[in-house]
Structure 1
Amino acid sequence: MGVLRPATVEVETSLRLVAPDATALPVRASLRYDPLDPYAVHVLFHAETVGGEPVSWSFARDLLVKGLDEPAGIGDVRVWPWSTPRGEFVALALSSPDGNALFEVPRSVLVRFLRRTYVVVPRGKESDHLDVDAAVARLLSAR
């Protein structure tokens, strides 16, 4: 019998895209954690068009954890606590050559998601789940 592979953690949620005029638009998204990529979390933004491919952003799980309580990240991905009259959120700022976007993520959704990821791969045990050969193959095939 083979080794049981820990399950991927995936949570569907609605984020709010904060427009420059401070209005906010709901955006369907998924938070995903794959134990085979144990240091990263992935946010998939679902296109509203039929057949539209989701846009995926990946960044360090630790960045998301740190951003729950204090500003974290530099460059393409920044995360920080965000309090509003509507409740507690986490701001997720994404930058790319195509532009910048600021999202509000419900803090409670992120906390539940992160707790589930730590059940699958506890903090400090990520290297036990890393398939170095597969990671190197992915890097080399990306050229």
Structure 2
Amino acid sequence: MNMFGSGRTVADVAVDITVECVDQNGQRHEIDTVLGYRRTDPYAVSMTFVTGDGSLVWTFGRDLLSRGTLAPNGDGDVAVFPGIDGHGRAVVNIELSSPDGHLLLEARAESVAEFISRTTEVVPEGHESEHLDVDQLIAELLAS
């Protein structure tokens, strides 16, 4: 699932990383990014791209990111799969797709692993439902 937004969200875990964007011509561009996780949204992680024009936020499943570090995972808007960069370093590839375009990102595997580890310290895998406020979720849905 993807969600666009502006600004940063308050996160229990926030890790600044630089990802490499690979454009259609194979050119690489570095993008400052913040991986975020909130206990109040325990199934999701956010990826905030920090640009001169503001921030762009994508939100998708923590499980998708975690599983994608080991083997290809996901289809549709977000796909995650392990790889090796041109310098022989382990990376996590994150493919984002929307009606507006397609983006392939490479993040250092150790940075992603550190982020996932920190999220599981906040909410262990398998215990997400204990942190989900269903009443709040229903109230937000009805207010929309």
- 1:4 aligned residue: none
Pairs within 5 Å for 1:1-143: 8-49=12-53, 52=54, 54-86=55-87, 87-142=89-144
Going from structure 1 to structure 2, the CA distance change for 1:112 and 1:99 (only over 3 Å counts) comes to same
**Count of residue pairs the alignment pairs up:** 133
TM-score w.r.t. the length of structure 1 is 0.89
* Superposition CA RMSD, Å: 1.1
Q: CA deviation at 1:139?
A: 2.4
Write the distance in 2 (CA, Å) between the matches of 1:88 and 1:106: 6
The gaps in structure 1 that reach 5 residues or longer are 1-6
Secondary structure of the 1:46 match is strand
Residue identity opposite 1:96 in structure 2: S
TM-superposed CA distance for 1:129, in Å, is 0.5
Cα distance in 1 between the residues matched to 2:29 and 2:59: 22
> Within 1, Cα distance between the matches of 2:45 and 2:39?
10
1:21 Cα deviation from its structure 2 partner: 1.7
Instruction: For 2:68 and 2:130, locate their aligned partners in 1 and report how far apart those are by CA, in whole Å.
Output: 25
Which structure 1 residue ranges, 4+ long, deviate > 6 Å from structure 2?
none
Query: Partners of 1:36 and 1:117 in 2: how far apart?
Result: 12
- How far residue 10 of structure 1 moved from its aligned partner, in angstroms, is 0.3
Report the Cα distance in structure 2 between the residues aligned to 1:103 and 1:65, rounded to whole angstroms.
Answer: 16
Larger radius of gyration: 1
User: Could you report, residue by residue, the CA deviation over 1:65-118 in whole angstroms, capped at 9, with x for unpaired residues?
Assistant: 110011000100000001123211011000111111010011000000000000
